[in-house]
Amino acid sequence: MNEEATLTLHAVFNYAEAGLWFIIALVLAVRLRMKRPWRWLLPLAFACFGVSDLIEVQTGAWWEPLWLFMMKAACVLVFLLAWGAHRRQGKPHG
């Protein structure tokens, strides 16, 4: 008997989300390539976040195992630090 593998809604959502994070990582890598040297960290964090979603499909939870939770938390920390740095820079008026 040949059973087809069916994807759960959770898996489909995580695959789509991973794709989104990979696209964002690629766009940021291209746009930030000539900027300050530490800016490579933001695209890398988005790519890692995409990988974490692919892992989450297998584990079924973002908080288990603990290292997956820590990986996601580290990515979110980079996102927040980058956002804060961007806000501190400000945008020129006019």
Q: What percent of the chain has pLDDT above 90?
A: 68
Specify the pLDDT at position 34.
66
DSSP string, 33-49: TTS-GGGGHHHHHHHHH
CA dihedral 64, 65, 69, 75 (to 10 degrees): -130
- What are the residue ranges spanned by the domains of the chain? 10-89
Q: For 25-63, write each residue's pLDDT tens digit.
A: 999 999 887 666 677 899 999 999 999 999 999 999 999
pLDDT of 87 over the 70 cut: yes
- Per-residue pLDDT tens over the stretch 5-15: 688 999 999 99
The pTM of this model reads 0.84
